[in-house]
Amino acid sequence: MIGVVFICVGLGISISGWLRRKTFAGAFHICFGSAFFLVGLSLTLGMLHAPKPSVNRAHDQEILGLTTDGVESIILDREYKNLAVDQTINLVQKPITLTKRSEIAAICAALRSAHIMSPNHPSAQWYCDVKFNTKGRTLDMRVSSTSNQGVILWLNESYRCNSIGKVLHSIAQDHDFGKLTPAEAAVRKSTSDHEDMICGLILFSIFVACCAFVFFVLPVFPVWRICRRLGLCPWLALLMLIPLANVILLCIIGFQKWPIEEELEISKKGGKPLLDSSSEEPGSCHAI
């Protein structure tokens, strides 16, 4: 519903801008309305393709109703894979594949005690990503142990299941919590540092691009309009894209004697205006 509202508002703003498209306000309305329209279109398409609640509930019940015979293996993995090696927010440090029928049976039996809940600011102690490999399918489940609301299963809805927390912690402990060897720890730290550096460079590049757009590209249009109104060549506005040249252009515009001032001086003296509007088109190029 909200997507349709955004679409209608965007169309209205765009149409009003199109009627005044030769003005700056009209162009701004067209851009603003187009943004509203695209946001509304994205929201509408997202709502149309979103799974229905009945499908979500069926998916949850499929996981909570798993049996030992229907599960071939279970993988315990890290939830936050970009953290440093010494972080304990993950229950395991590397993937642990469980194939023993006793371990699989313990996890499936613990799922039976899950009941739906509404989390209220849970304080997490550890996270674990649990993958159930069934015949032809892989089902994912996120588990978090909290200090104030027990163990929470994060599916399409939230469920409390304290028993599975004890089972997962015991199994992870039996496997030494997937502790890394020194070589694996060194490789992971190197990979993490490299990823952090790449993310930092990407964020810095985006910041530089935004600053360049704001300080160099955006001023081109208003300077173009100023040059036209002053009787200067509007193509001089492209100098705003060049560092240092943009400062020189602003100094020229600010300190030179503008044509309108010359006209006023001549008019006060009773002479003929310097610029004859009948013989010269607005926005024509004049020497600076």
User: Cα–Cα distance between 18 and 242 in angstroms, integer?
Assistant: 32
Let me know whether 86 and 134 are in one domain: yes
Range from 122-126, 159-163, 276-280 carrying the lowest mean pLDDT: 276-280
Q: 74 in helix, strand or coil?
A: strand
Let me know whether 77 and 35 are in one domain: no
Q: Which tens digits make up the pLDDT trace of 123-152? A: 888 999 999 999 888 999 999 999 899 999
Let me know whether 61 and 167 are in one domain: yes
User: Cα–Cα distance between 223 and 234 in angstroms, integer?
Assistant: 8
The answer to the question of residue 163 being in a domain is: yes
Question: Taking a C-beta distance cutoff of 8 angstroms, is the pair 30, 18 a contact?
Answer: yes
The answer to the question of residue 224 being in a domain is: yes
> pTM of the prediction?
0.53
Strand pairing partners for 90? Answer: 127
The answer to the question of residue 188 being in a domain is: no
Strands laid side by side in the 115-116 sheet = 96-98, 71-77, 124-134, 137-146, 151-154, 158-160, 115-116
Question: Taking a C-beta distance cutoff of 8 angstroms, is the pair 132, 119 a contact?
Answer: no
The answer to the question of residue 190 being in a domain is: no
Question: Taking a C-beta distance cutoff of 8 angstroms, is the pair 64, 56 a contact?
Answer: no
Let me know whether 113 and 169 are in one domain: yes
Let me know whether 24 and 101 are in one domain: no
Domain count, the chain: 3
Q: Which tens digits make up the pLDDT trace of 9-21? A: 888 888 888 887 7
Question: In the block, which residue shows the tokens 């894979």?
Answer: 81
**Domain's final residue, options 179, 201, 232:** 179
In three state form, how does the secondary structure of 7-71 look? HHHHHHHHHHHHHCCCCHHHHHHHHHHHHHHHHHHHHHHHHHHCCCHHHHHHHHHHHHCCCCCCE
Please state the rounded mean pLDDT for residues 198-225: 87
The answer to the question of residue 279 being in a domain is: no
The domain that holds 78 is classified in CATH as: 2.60.40.4250
Domain interval for residue 244: 219-269
**Sign of the CA dihedral with 125 first, then 127, 132, and 137 last:** positive
Let me know whether 26 and 93 are in one domain: no
Let me know whether 86 and 119 are in one domain: yes
Percentage of the chain beyond pLDDT 70 is 82
Let me know whether 82 and 100 are in one domain: yes
The answer to the question of residue 259 being in a domain is: yes
